[in-house]
A and B are shown apart, each in its own frame.
Chain A
């Protein structure tokens, strides 16, 4: 059963729980928060994300009452709270250091806030037990904070801050002290707890993955301003600025100049594709110089491929004599691999050639000779813009680009996982040749750093569906990177 989408920020009638209204905070000459307005709704899991010193912690401390507000107002549940002291606010905070009272047991730590409200003992006991159950800490109730592990301390801190059932829970880098695996588990626990208790959570973090995982909405901050406030998917897929694109996840940023894409589908589709054709491809019109290299598939001197792990003679002998009996004859993938050296050569020569002819043939000229020469297989979406990103390089087709950007400097942002990498020229709207410079092997995925002919580095990510030993792309390989006409986002400078 599909659930109704939780998106109170889209509902105009919805009253925000927290409202920052033109809030400014200055420390002496330094402006930590600059005229900031923001609404946070009930039951939201809201993340304040940004590099250190961007003001996210100041925002949180203002909500908790530990920092005064220089200008503006903060409303919480219809009440202006800027003059309310921290101990009178219906807000609890989970501190980055956890701030557990070392002289009190886990039980007393959790009961601390409840006792201040002088409720009766029985009720306090019940509530503490409930919190212990929620955070799976019942066994440790009698221990002191220094007798439990970091992950348990984190849960005590959470239980303590939730015990008073606050309207709003603030979490200051709550998982920063945990190791990666525990952190990921805890993120899901946090989400579960947030859902079961129905409390509004505001989390401060510099870890974008954490923010993406837990938050219903993320506010990306920079130098005391909100750069973008949106759901994780929008922040990731449609960043509104180079800053956001660059801060969230891995990204390729290609600066260039926007140009209106011709409307009629036929020529523009073919034209840029052709223009993109680099020298090494046989069917492409050869440049004036004789630099046309053999296609990357050509077999050539193999020894250049020293990086490819391959058995030596003795290994071969042992395999044949011993392992072949029960492992079967090995089909040697190595010789079939395209040797990198010709490709390398091709890329290098092409780069030279590009540099040489940089001032002579315009892209239009290059495109002119054969519009029909290459019938394209894929249906390319029409409209949008073209981006001229490097001298002598084919423009990038961006079908989702705003036509109003015509003639303006723009930056194309493409996530590496939306960029494919192939040894053969793929059939995609945007294809660029390059050379593999670096491979970051992360186990599940590999990130390839590809140097384009213009010298620009582009990251392409591939899921390692096959075992590493079968990996067919290696260092220095001449490769083609490709992406669709809608893969990227055009950002104005």
Chain B
């Protein structure tokens, strides 16, 4: 009896947070999942009375040639801009800045963090203005006598990937700066005495020590990048054609441009699954063996 009331007393302060999370996080997920089994629409008869159509949306998705392309573009975008770009750049910057002199360190980290501090829409517009055919990059290239291509049109994925690396690296850099500061100096010194060179120390001492930061950071940047919408929408609108339509853009287009809300939520559900798969992989691959 005493135990139960104590248990209840412990739950009470948690309740508001749980209710809020359920309402604003779980609610939309459940609604989206439900919606993906209906033909809900913004106009026409299905707007008034959406019908349960089972797995039809998913069947249509598999038959839609835009979908595999979009899935592939999403994987490319996430892998190159988050897994490779932001993480490698982040850890390199963090490492270099540790050994840099103070003024260099503060200037460099301010520049990097500036991109992170900008609201997404502002960063997206800055990237658009940079890559536009008459934008900053081509103006600079023009100064060197080079006529740059129309980046957003001829190489849309490259442009959005670079923009996302630029925008997101600061986060990884900060995570890794904190992690590197926690590496006990006696470990690296011992390795150095044993004759390990810089690369060996990084591979055999530093990385294993910070591997949990790596897994956390990989997971966070992956999930964040998976849902990037504003950056791509502003820069290329998913085009030309469907050449930079990642899953969030495709879902938006189907749900709001083409009014097929049910179909759009099916794409959103696929995104949730892709995110879950990535998360499971990270948790498994970087599981701490002994600590």
Q: Do A and B come from one complex?
A: no
Q: Which residues of A contact B (CB under 8 A)?
A: none
Q: Which residues of B contact A (CB under 8 A)?
A: none
